Amino acid sequence: MQNILNAFARALGLITSLDREVFSIVLLSFCVSLTAVLFSSLLSLPLSLLLALKKFSGNRFIVNTINSLMAVPAVAIGLVVYLIISRRGPLGILELLYTPWAMVIAQALLATPIITSLSYQALKRVGSMVKETALSLGASGWQVVITVFKEARSSLMVAFIVGFARVIGETGMTMMVGGNIKGATRVMTTAIALETMKGNFELAVALGIILLIVAFVVNIIMQVVQGAGR
Amino acid sequence: MNIEAKKVCKSFNGKKVLRNIDIKIAESRINCVIGPNGAGKTTLFKILTLLDRATSGEIYFDGSPSSMISPQEKLKLRRRIGVVMQNPFMFNTSVRNNVAYGLKLRGDGYLEKKVEEGLRMVQLSSIKDQSSLTLSSGEAQRVALARAIVLEPEVLFLDEPMANLDPLSMKIIEGLTLKMHKECDITIVMATHNLLQARRFGERLFVLRQGEIIQQGTAEDVFQYPNSSFAAEFVEVGNLFRGRLIIENGTQKLDLGKIRVEIVPRPEFEKTEASVFATVRPEDILLSLEPFHSSARNSFFGEIVNMQDRGGIIWVTMEPFPESPDAKAELVSIPFVAVITRRSQEEMSLRVGMRVYFTFKASCVNVVVGER
């Protein structure tokens, strides 16, 4: 018991003294996960808009496929990304393995089905009505797209937050492709796993506390956004 | 703007919703598309306003086929047309921003002034800063109307604009529609299943049934001379009879079984013994306590079987005795409906069970052969 309390006390000390190692890990975590969600959104937004507003053959199939992809285990994505970017893989020449970009790619792949599916549901709900109304009031194609996104803004925001929360908390996959290299690819989740195994609880607990705070803050933002959308 | 639909069909998942629609919207007039729910009015509106595409057929705007024009031209066309849908969607912002939406898209320089004016016209200036999500359906309908009219369209499409509205909203929308039509000379196309409205407003009427236009013409044409039993029943023609055309003593008549109704002779009826249907407007039937001596060719003696007060006007349903009555003659169950004012009813002390004469001219009988 004393051990745990000591670890907590020292962890708080690390946080309050703005320990360099702790904060470089936190910063990298945020950079990797935000970049991943940003890239994922660049694909998810147009795709979900297309699926929600355009009727074409194969539409239903793509939606079902995306929904199924949400269930793919993260570790499987990690394995696929590893095989593709490892030295002998098709993209081995880019030397991405064990770099932050490898983590970004894997996390983006993990987030894309989630963000696309949630955005699709949001856009499907209001999309056709907004589109019709905007067109009837003289909107051009682009003006319709902007209006649809604007109307679905709070639900889309929730989709990004859910995607971000999913990837920032991911451990196994991130470790597989990032390698958990100190000062280079060590992020909060991989550091916690490693330090716990080493018995170095103070750093693990400090990062754990920050990760929990992140989870709470994300949750609060999500509730505020959803409240504003009503 | 001149809008014309030629052979327009629309199907959803193989189900035909519109069939061979041929209509020409009368410019600077109030056009009413009437038909029951599910007849295809909204689908037709969406196609006419370029919000949806026809499966086949063509819409012409000022003579140009819409399928041949470029997207830029299409946008310009859409900006000349105003649309208010049955359950208008409100953007998740203030009432003011909803009304300003179309003006902002066009970069209109008089935005503030026009928004104020639009809201004043629908009597909603006081709630301009309110969120549009808190509006009642009547208020939302008025905001939608303001949102469309501030854009000064040449043609205004109103899809069931007064369905399920509170009396105040209905009065405002009705008044504004008429005012816009009179003062701005805009063409109005209104879908409705409300006959009173269609009769009051409609200068040109289109009757839509199961995706097909079964009659079009002036309000007078459609209400006086419906060309199908559906149209007759839908426009509440009052008296709808089915019978056979016969010639009796050299006169063309409609044989309804135990009674015969004289009609205006027409050469095309001479060779036919076809089953036909005929309509007579209730207001064309005259009711009297004594035999009524006039040039009217049809006069029957019968009994009042029902009286229905419809707000100051009374619908009197009578059944006639056979034409050659004997002492034990029973009423023929062919109801005739006439309308009288409450005052006439009081003066004549009319009540159910009373025996009366009812008379109408042969020219008031609208006979339709070969129903669609």
Domain layout of chain A by residue ranges: 22-187
Convert the pLDDT of each residue in B3-52 to its tens digit: 999 999 999 988 999 999 999 999 999 999 998 888 899 999 999 999 99
Q: Give yes or no: residues B104 and B37 share one domain.
A: yes
Q: Give yes or no: residues B191 and B299 share one domain.
A: no
Beta-carbon contacts below 8 Å between A and B? 48
Total tally of structural domains belonging to chain B? 2
Note whether B89 contacts A133, CB cutoff 8 Å: yes
Q: Give yes or no: residues B243 and B172 share one domain.
A: no
Note whether A151 contacts B88, CB cutoff 8 Å: no
Q: Give yes or no: residues B67 and B83 share one domain.
A: yes
Residues 156-215 in A contacting B (C-alpha not used; CB under 8 Å): none
Report the pLDDT value the prediction gives residue A148, as an integer from 0 to 100.
94
Give the residue numbers in B contacting A (CB under 8 Å), as ranges.
46, 49-51, 71, 75, 78-79, 81-83, 85, 88-89, 91-92, 101-102, 105-106, 147-148, 151
CA distance to partner chain B, nearest, from residue A175 (Å): 43
Own/partner long-range contacts of B168-176 (Cβ < 8 Å, ≥24 apart): B168/B138, B169/B138, B169/B139, B169/B141, B169/B142, B170/B138, B172/B122, B172/B123, B172/B142, B173/B122, B173/B141, B173/B142, B173/B145, B174/B201, B176/B121, B176/B122, B176/B145, B176/B149
CA distance to partner chain B, nearest, from residue A55 (Å): 12
Q: Give yes or no: residues B188 and B250 share one domain.
A: no
Low-confidence ranges of chain A (pLDDT < 50): none
Superfamily of domain A22-187: MetI-like (1.10.3720.10)
Report the pLDDT value the prediction gives residue B101, as an integer from 0 to 100.
95
B277: CATH? 2.40.50.100
Q: Give yes or no: residues B14 and B40 share one domain.
A: yes
3-state secondary structure chain B: CCEEEEEEEEEECCEEEEEEEEEECCCCCEEEEECCCCCCHHHHHHHHCCCCCCCEEEEEECCEEHHHCCHHHHHHHHCCEEEECCCCCCCCCEHHHHHHHHHHHHCCCCHHHHHHHHHHHCCCHHHCCCEHHHCCHHHHHHHHHHHHHCCCCCEEEEECCCCCCCHHHHHHHHHHHHHHHHHHCCEEEEEECCHHHHHHHCCEEEEEECCEEEEEECHHHHHHCCCCHHHHHHCCCCEEEEEEEEEECCEEEEECCCCEEECCCCHHHCCCCCEEEEEECHHHCEEECCCCCCCCCEEEEEEEEEEEECCCEEEEEEEECCCCCCCCCCCCCCCEEEEEEHHHHHHHCCCCCCEEEEEECHHHCEEECCCC
CA distance to partner chain A, nearest, from residue B81 (Å): 8
Note whether B91 contacts A130, CB cutoff 8 Å: yes
Scan for tokens 């407007």, then name that residue: B281
Note whether A140 contacts B89, CB cutoff 8 Å: no
Report the pLDDT value the prediction gives residue A63, as an integer from 0 to 100.
95
This prediction's pTM: 0.79
A143 touches chain B (CB under 8 A): yes
Report the pLDDT value the prediction gives residue A218, as an integer from 0 to 100.
85
Note whether B85 contacts A147, CB cutoff 8 Å: no
**Which 3 state secondary structure label does DSSP give A109?**
helix
Scan for tokens 């929600």, then name that residue: A52
Q: Give yes or no: residues B162 and B250 share one domain.
A: no
Among B232, B247, B282, the domain-final residue is: B232
Scan for tokens 């426009």, then name that residue: B235
Partner residue opposite A129 with nearest CB, options B79, B89, B151: B89
Convert the pLDDT of each residue in B319-364 to its tens digit: 998 876 565 678 888 899 999 998 888 888 999 999 999 999 988 8
Residue of chain A whose alpha carbon sits nearest to that of B99: A137
Question: What order of strands is seen across the sheet that includes strand B30-34?
Answer: B81-84, B155-159, B187-192, B30-34, B204-209, B212-217
Residue of chain A whose alpha carbon sits nearest to that of B72: A140
Mean pLDDT per block of 10 residues along chain B (372 residues) reads: 93 92 92 89 94 94 91 93 92 94 89 91 91 91 93 93 82 86 90 81 89 88 82 81 84 86 82 78 90 84 91 89 70 89 89 92 85 58
Q: Give yes or no: residues B54 and B199 share one domain.
A: yes
Note whether B148 contacts A135, CB cutoff 8 Å: no
Among B232, B249, B281, the domain-final residue is: B232
Report the pLDDT value the prediction gives residue B273, as an integer from 0 to 100.
65
Report the pLDDT value the prediction gives residue B327, as an integer from 0 to 100.
57
Residue length of chain B: 372
Q: Give yes or no: residues B200 and B257 share one domain.
A: no
CA distance to partner chain A, nearest, from residue B175 (Å): 22
Q: Give yes or no: residues B250 and B118 share one domain.
A: no
Question: How many angstroms separate the CA atoms of B72 and B235, rounded?
Answer: 41
Report the pLDDT value the prediction gives residue A228, as an integer from 0 to 100.
67
Report the pLDDT value the prediction gives residue B229, as an integer from 0 to 100.
79
B84: CATH? 3.40.50.300
Q: Give yes or no: residues B225 and B245 share one domain.
A: no
Scan for tokens 């269609």, then name that residue: B198
Q: Can you give the residue range of the structural domain that contains B211?
A: 3-232
Residue of chain B whose alpha carbon sits nearest to that of A140: B75
Q: Give yes or no: residues B152 and B251 share one domain.
A: no
Which chain B positions have a beta carbon within 8 Å of A140's beta carbon?
A: 75, 105
Report the pLDDT value the prediction gives residue B272, as an integer from 0 to 100.
63
